[in-house]
Amino acid sequence: MQKEKEEFSVNSGLTRRKILSVGAKVAATAMTATIMPSTGGMAQENQAKEPHMKTKAFVYTEVQISVPFDQAPWRKINQAIKQQPGFISKTWLAGLNNNSLGGIYAFDSIENAKKFVTGYFPTEAGGFGAAHNTRIFDATLVEEASRDMGSPHFGIAPYKKPGAFVYTEVQVNLPFEQAPWQDRNPILKNQPGLLAKTWLTGLHTNTIGGIDAFDTVENAKQFAINTFPKTAEKMNAAFYTRIFDASLTEEASKDMYSPFYL
The CATH class that applies to domain 2-35+53-138+250-261 reads alpha beta
Taking the chain, what is the end-to-end CA distance rounded to the nearest angstrom? 40
pTM above 0.85, yes or no: no
Q: What confidence tens digit (pLDDT) does each residue in 202-239 have?
A: 999 999 999 999 999 999 999 999 999 999 999 999 99
Q: With respect to CATH, is domain 140-246 assigned 3.30.70.100?
A: yes
Residue spans per domain, the chain: 2-35+53-138+250-261, 140-246
Q: What is the pLDDT of residue 53?
A: 52
- Is residue 64 over pLDDT 50? yes
Backbone angles phi, psi at 158, to 5 degrees: -65, 140
Do residues 84 and 40 make contact, with C-beta atoms less than 8 angstroms apart?
Answer: yes
DSSP 48: H
Q: What confidence tens digit (pLDDT) does each residue in 99-143 have?
A: 999 999 999 999 999 999 999 999 999 999 999 999 999 999 999
Q: How many CB atoms lie within 10 A of CB 193?
A: 18
Domains 2-35+53-138+250-261 and 140-246 share a fold: yes
Q: How many CB atoms lie within 10 A of CB 186?
A: 9
Share of the chain above pLDDT 70, in %: 79
Of the pLDDT bands very low, low, confident and very high (cuts 50, 70, 90), residue 49 is very low
